[in-house]
Structure 1
Amino acid sequence: MSILTAVAFLVIVFLTSALSGVFGMAGGLILLWFLLMALPATSAIVVHGVIQLCANASRAWLSRRYIDFRIVAIIASGGALAALGLALVNYTPNTAIVSLLIGLMPLLVWVPKAWFRFDAARPGHAFCCGVVAGGLTIAAGVSGPTIDIFFIRTHMDRRQIVATKAAVQVISHSIKIVFYAGAALTLSATHWGVVLLAIPFAILGTRSGNAILRRLTDANFRYWTRWLVTAIGAFYFVQGVWMVSS
């Protein structure tokens, strides 16, 4: 990894962690895109998992009093089941598949409430969230927009949503790292050195985003979340189509 690429990586880690600190997602989508351009899909996903694990852990810690641990436990159990299923079929991703999956995810945040009434506070819905989101976390590297549809319609406020989702993502990324442990071993010591150096940047970015979150209203939080993930998803989808057709 060149010095210029390493510096760009550290800057992107800080900015994307700050973005996720505000909206509880979106930053991870941008970070994964950068990694997919620099590394094979499996390696990109595992590096993404390590950075996002640290960023989400710091976000969960900063907002720990708002976490609903009952929801976290139920979603985690569904995620573990999804990981087991993908392991049994020996799933291996590639950049085109990952891009298409991420590109389609934001469509879910526009589903009318009358069609589906998902609510993460309900045990059955939380378990389904874990299965779907856990599977997508491994298959595509991220699942923020999918998790969002189970939270955006709850009666939780923005702080509870961001805190609980952060705790869920800590577990999801941990499972993802274990799933792709083999890919982690193919990376050089230099790569891992830069990743370790990026962890403080992820934590600092999260703290900055958390400060901005406190100034947002719930209405603005929900509005900007939808448009932000839609724009990022559209970019991923176009990239995926281009890769498949070229």
Structure 2
Amino acid sequence: MSTGRIVLAATPIGNTEDASPRLRHLLATADVVAAEDTRRLGGLLQRLGVRTTGRVVSHHEHNEAARVADLLEVVRAGGTVLVVSDAGMPTVSDPGFLLVRAAVEAGLPVTTAPGPSAVLAALAVSGLATDRFCFEGFPPRKAGERATVFADLARERRTMVFFEAPHRLAATLAAMARAFGADRPAAVCRELTKTYEEVVRGGLDELATWASGEVRGEIAIVVAGAPGKEASMPDLVVEVLARADSGERLKDAVTAVAEATGVAKRELYAAALAARRP
């Protein structure tokens, strides 16, 4: 008996035209479509002009654990289980993780049909650094827990991406301003890919003031990472001399440290020579 597979498929986060041909094919042919909200899936199918041929079941945070065994049996029997959330990629702040973990433990195939992602879309348009980033999901709802989480992230050097509900946005931005600094650069990305898409950029305190008015829609917050601590010349000299003491040529050590920190090579070399004199 051939083994089927689980396919995690990204659905549009706003603009229906972002649905890929592969998503359309999978929706029409999968043996089971496990949807976070079957009514919202029905609306998507109608807009896409696609009719499912397989069974459609609900698959959300409240019933996912109970669904796993049945869905794995479909895969073992050779069927394709398509997992979709309301928007974006399943398992990313959406159901699907329990099923994937169980499938991996059972040695069953899991693959993806990639597509729209609110996390990557917000990061891309934020204007902030994209070379290193982390996704932190929804912050805690309670003020104390939220403050604790932000305090732990205050020294995070990577760009951070969060989701937030509109009615908690102002409080969250204000809490971020207290933890990260009022002037920490950030961007609030609202209704991405939709008709009323809006990206507001500025310091966290400025954004908190802006958000005190009425804000609606799906929201992602992108926050710049903590700035690196500027090393003093004495600290850099200590690093250069330590590298030299370990066998590296002094000039090579100076060059490496200067290029990594942006200080003037000649100035660092002179300081290192002066420190070596008895």
TM-score class, shorter: under 0.3
Which fold has the larger relative contact order, with Cα–Cα distance below 8 Å and residues 6 or more apart in sequence? 1
TM-score (structure 1 length as normaliser): 0.25
User: Which structure's residues are more often helix, by fraction?
Assistant: 1
